[in-house]
């Protein structure tokens, strides 16, 4: 490109091009995997379908669980705002008008879930209370200036149904605004006065009845806000409350006591605080597990070890439902990626249809499954030959096995809930208080072989009649909802037990009446005959210890529950083809979720070939290749040093490794320039190691640094 100019100069021509986004389809990763097969695309589509269904179910669950909390918050905001505009000369009302309505929303320590909850709350408030809802974070508000700047900018971006002239006036104000409460109040008055209250608004229900809707300010992480910023804002806002109707919502992760720790009494007295508590994250987890895993709605299931990893991360790390759901999604993705037969992990009619179109390779994959091989070994010799040689017969048998697996899950979850009804209220909770604990134990082994199950049966044999009847009634409701023939008979059996318990009540009343009538007809006797009769009764009771009718019936109920458990709560790994539905690669999941940054960093610096996959970086153990990155060379050399490292020796060793096996070219650079380049590379490598925390400067010796890891400090 040429140009002409009167004077000499340097012209810069920037290339006019747009970056082309190279989009690689996600399903291609399935095709490039280790277990890639001809149905990789179908597996990916099945994964997407199941995940979309599970995701929509979790969103619906979260809406249901937060509904009561959001309804109470909306009611509080509506009553607080109507109280702000009441004209009363009462002294108490005048005092209250100076207080800012404040909702202290305790969300719990699961901080990663707060954003989603507050986003949903913002949407609910905009639809039902006011269009002016602002959310602020402590990191964006270090001082009062930035606090007001963020508040004003977000307020003016709120979507209000006004005419175009009003929008233009808002834009003019936003350009020439002075960030103060006076300008904010003036803007609010101008906007609310110009807005026609009779104008129809989309998705506006309660907010349309107010000419001056309130301004709701949500402080997401109240504990992180500076005390001075909060105090100044509350004091200033209370002075403008009559012209700028503000309502505060404090997002609290720890305890409501933090309000009084951050704010002195003179400031907290300006707030009219009402406490709101969100649902416990443990209850939330139980509901998510109940609707996603303990159901036949979704075919995908987790093994005991995988479920234990996800629950342990939840209980001992972050209490985050969102992270648990992400772990569940990762398990689902890994299952469809690594298991070629996961193509059968879909609803039963679709799975039967797909079985008919299985290829010869997929039939061989079925024959290689450990559970199917155990199943074949139990069959007759003729059937074994047919299963191992005939693909047609194998497909027919696979259809029936998948149908049996579907029936197994249906019965399994019903009996599991029934057993939980009996064990969840026992003292010391031998099989756990939550159903997920019981589910993990049933997934692991035969639960009837455990000591905890034996203690459960002993405790059930000591239950009172009222407790036993209440448990039976809950189980009857569960089994009554099932459509299976065997479980339908189970519901009838439970109904018979309940009828027998009720008949026992009538018999005991008759016995009491007869005993009272006999006691009235007894004649007077002397002490000798009374003592003799008591001794005879004692001998009779000791010789023949007969159980009462209630004890016999209670024993029958316990035996009935025990038979249900032994019949239906078999571990999933005993079922043929369970590998198609169950994800059991706990090691892979642990590698992805339980990060080990120290090990990963050591591996990257000690063996760069592990990540870079460059053949030139391959080396024997203990050797340092000169083509390795500078930081890797410096790291390996520093591992050979003691607690204190001499920088001069370290630099010479680095130069020796770098210049090894290099041919000297006299025409390229001089030796001095070459040494300077190597020295600069060494300084950069040492700086990077210091940034990563492997070394630090020390004043113990001149030109030395101290090691901080693996025995150095």
Give the residue from 279, 306, 334 where a domain finishes. Answer: 279
Stretch 44-52: mean pLDDT: 94
Distance CA 616, CA 596 (A): 27
Does residue 167 belong to any structural domain of this protein?
Answer: no
What is the residue-wise DSSP string for 64-113?
HHHHHHHHHHHHHHHHHHHHHT-----HHHHHHHTSEEEEEEE--S-GGG
The CATH code of the domain that includes 62 is 3.40.50.300
621 vs 398: which has the higher pLDDT = 398
Does residue 497 sit in the same domain as residue 603?
A: no
Does residue 562 belong to any structural domain of this protein?
Answer: yes
What's the domain count of the chain?
3
Does residue 275 sit in the same domain as residue 340?
A: no
Does residue 133 sit in the same domain as residue 260?
A: yes
pLDDT exceeds 80 at position 6: no
Does residue 673 belong to any structural domain of this protein?
Answer: yes
Kindly state the tokens that stand for 668.
């390229």
The pLDDT of residue 546: 66
Does residue 310 sit in the same domain as residue 224?
A: no
The CATH code of the domain that includes 646 is 1.10.10
pLDDT exceeds 70 at position 34: no
The DSSP letter of residue 21 is P
Distance CA 492, CA 117 (A): 44
Mind listing the pLDDT tens digit for each residue in 231-272? 999 999 998 888 888 999 999 998 999 999 999 999 999 999
Give the residue from 279, 304, 330 where a domain finishes. Answer: 279
pLDDT exceeds 50 at position 88: no
Mind listing the pLDDT tens digit for each residue in 404-441? 999 999 999 999 999 999 999 999 899 999 999 999 99
pLDDT exceeds 90 at position 332: yes
645, β-bridge pairs: 705
Does residue 275 sit in the same domain as residue 409?
A: no
Please name the residues in contact with 342: beta carbons below 8 A apart, sequence gap of 6 or more. 43, 46, 47, 335, 336, 580
Does residue 201 belong to any structural domain of this protein?
Answer: no
Stretch 635-654: mean pLDDT: 91
The pLDDT of residue 27: 66
The pLDDT of residue 26: 64
pLDDT exceeds 90 at position 480: no
Does residue 442 belong to any structural domain of this protein?
Answer: yes
Does residue 237 sit in the same domain as residue 310?
A: no
Question: Which of 88-102, 129-143, 239-253, 651-665 has the weakest average pLDDT?
Answer: 88-102
Does residue 475 sit in the same domain as residue 608?
A: no
Does residue 395 sit in the same domain as residue 469?
A: yes
Does residue 199 belong to any structural domain of this protein?
Answer: no
With contact defined as beta carbons under 8 Å apart, do 538 and 532 qualify? no
Of the candidates 496, 495, 481, 475, which has an alpha carbon nearest to the alpha carbon of residue 421? 475
For residue 409, how many other CB atoms are within 10 A of its CB? 19
Enclosing domain of residue 109: 35-85+94-158+212-279
Does residue 562 sit in the same domain as residue 616?
A: no
For residue 58, how many other CB atoms are within 10 A of its CB? 20
**Average per-residue pLDDT for the chain:** 83
The pLDDT of residue 157: 76
Does residue 518 belong to any structural domain of this protein?
Answer: no
Strand 695-697 relative to strand 644-646, pairing: unpaired
With contact defined as beta carbons under 8 Å apart, do 604 and 628 qualify? no
Kindly state the tokens that stand for 680.
């600069």
Mind listing the pLDDT tens digit for each residue in 387-408? 999 999 999 999 999 999 999 9
Does residue 270 sit in the same domain as residue 413?
A: no
The pLDDT of residue 172: 43
Mind listing the pLDDT tens digit for each residue in 583-597? 999 999 998 888 788
With contact defined as beta carbons under 8 Å apart, do 693 and 639 qualify? no
Does residue 308 sit in the same domain as residue 385?
A: yes
Mind listing the pLDDT tens digit for each residue in 52-82? 999 999 999 999 999 999 999 999 998 887 7
Rama region for 471: left / alpha / beta (φ>0; ψ in -120 to 50; rest): alpha
Does residue 566 sit in the same domain as residue 637?
A: no
Does residue 24 belong to any structural domain of this protein?
Answer: no
pLDDT exceeds 50 at position 173: no
E strands, 484-577, are: none
Burial environment of residue 166 by CB neighbours within 10 A (0 to 12, 13 to 18, 19 or more): middle
Distance CA 346, CA 43 (A): 10
3-state secondary structure of 144: helix
Q: pLDDT confidence of 314, banded at 50, 70, 90? A: very high
């Amino acid at each position: 490109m040429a140009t002409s100019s009167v004077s000499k100069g340097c012209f810069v021509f920037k290339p006019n091009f747009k970056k082309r986004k190279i989009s690689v389809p996600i399903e291609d990763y399935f095709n490039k995997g280790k277990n890639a097969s001809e149905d990789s695309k179908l597996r990916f589509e099945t994964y997407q379908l199941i995940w979309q269904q599970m995701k929509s179910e979790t969103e619906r669950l979260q809406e249901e669980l937060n509904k009561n909390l959001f309804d109470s918050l909306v009611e509080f905001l509506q009553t607080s705002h109507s109280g702000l505009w009441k004209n009363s000369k009462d002294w108490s009302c005048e005092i209250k008008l100076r207080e800012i309505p404040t909702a202290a929303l305790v969300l719990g320590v699961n901080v990663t879930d707060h954003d989603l909850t507050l986003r949903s709350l913002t949407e609910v408030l905009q639809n039902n209370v006011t269009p002016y809802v602002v959310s602020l974070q402590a990191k964006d508000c270090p001082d009062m200036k930035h606090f007001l700047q963020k508040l004003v900018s977000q307020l003016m971006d709120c979507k209000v149904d006004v005419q175009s002239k009003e929008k233009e006036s808002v834009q003019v104000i936003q350009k020439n605004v002075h960030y103060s409460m006076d300008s904010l109040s003036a803007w609010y008055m101008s906007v609310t006065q110009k807005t026609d209250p009779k104008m129809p608004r989309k998705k506006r229900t309660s907010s349309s009845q107010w000419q001056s809707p309130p301004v709701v300010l949500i402080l997401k992480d109240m504990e992180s806000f500076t005390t001075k910023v909060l105090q100044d804002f509350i004091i200033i806002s209370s002075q403008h409350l009559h012209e700028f109707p503000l309502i505060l919502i404090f997002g609290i992760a720890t305890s409501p006591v933090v309000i009084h720790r951050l704010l002195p009494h003179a400031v907290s007295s300006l707030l009219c605080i009402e406490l709101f508590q969100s649902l416990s994250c443990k209850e939330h987890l139980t509901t998510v597990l109940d609707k996603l895993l303990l159901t036949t709605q979704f075919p995908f299931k987790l093994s005991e070890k995988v479920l234990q990893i996800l629950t342990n991360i939840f209980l001992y790390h972050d209490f985050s439902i969102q992270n648990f759901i992400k772990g569940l999604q990762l398990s689902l993705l890994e299952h469809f990626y690594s298991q070629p037969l996961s193509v059968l992990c879909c609803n039963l009619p679709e799975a039967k249809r797909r079985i008919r179109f299985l290829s010869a390779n997929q039939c061989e994959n079925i024959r290689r499954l450990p559970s199917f091989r155990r199943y074949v070994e139990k069959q007759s010799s003729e059937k074994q030959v047919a299963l191992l040689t005939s693909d047609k017969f194998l497909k027919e048998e696979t259809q029936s096995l998948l149908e049996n697996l579907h029936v197994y899950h249906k019965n399994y979850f019903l009996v599991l809930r029934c057993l939980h009804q009996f064990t969840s209220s026992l003292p010391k909770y031998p099989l756990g208080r939550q159903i997920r604990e019981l589910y993990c134990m049933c997934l692991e082994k035969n639960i009837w072989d455990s000591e905890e199950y034996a203690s459960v049966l002993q405790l059930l044999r000591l239950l009172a009649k009222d407790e036993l009847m209440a448990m039976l009634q809950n189980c009857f409701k569960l089994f009554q909802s099932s459509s299976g023939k065997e479980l339908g008979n189970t519901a009838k059996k439970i109904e018979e037990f309940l009828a027998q318990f009720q008949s026992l009540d009538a018999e005991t009343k008759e016995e009491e009446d007869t005993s009272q009538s006999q006691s009235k007809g007894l004649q007077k006797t002397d002490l000798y005959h009374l003592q003799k009769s008591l001794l005879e009764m004692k001998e009779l009771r000791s010789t023949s210890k007969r159980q009462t009718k209630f004890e016999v019936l209670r024993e029958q109920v316990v035996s009935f529950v025990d038979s249900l458990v032994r019949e239906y709560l078999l571990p999933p790994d005993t079922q043929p083809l369970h590998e198609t539905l169950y994800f059991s690669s706990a090691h892979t999941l642990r590698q992805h979720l339980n990060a080990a940054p120290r090990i990963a960093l050591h591996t990257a610096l000690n063996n760069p070939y592990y990540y870079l996959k460059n053949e030139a970086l391959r080396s024997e153990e203990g050797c340092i290749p000169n083509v390795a990155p500078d930081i890797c060379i410096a790291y390996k050399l520093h591992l050979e040093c003691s607690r204190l490292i001499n920088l001069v020796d370290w630099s010479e060793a680095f130069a020796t490794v770098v210049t090894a096996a290099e041919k000297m070219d006299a025409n390229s650079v001089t030796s001095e320039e070459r040494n300077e380049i190597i020295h600069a590379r060494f300084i950069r490598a040492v700086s990077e190691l210091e940034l990563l925390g492997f070394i630090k400067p020390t004043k113990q010796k001149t030109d030395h640094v101290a090691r901080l890891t693996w025995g150095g400090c």
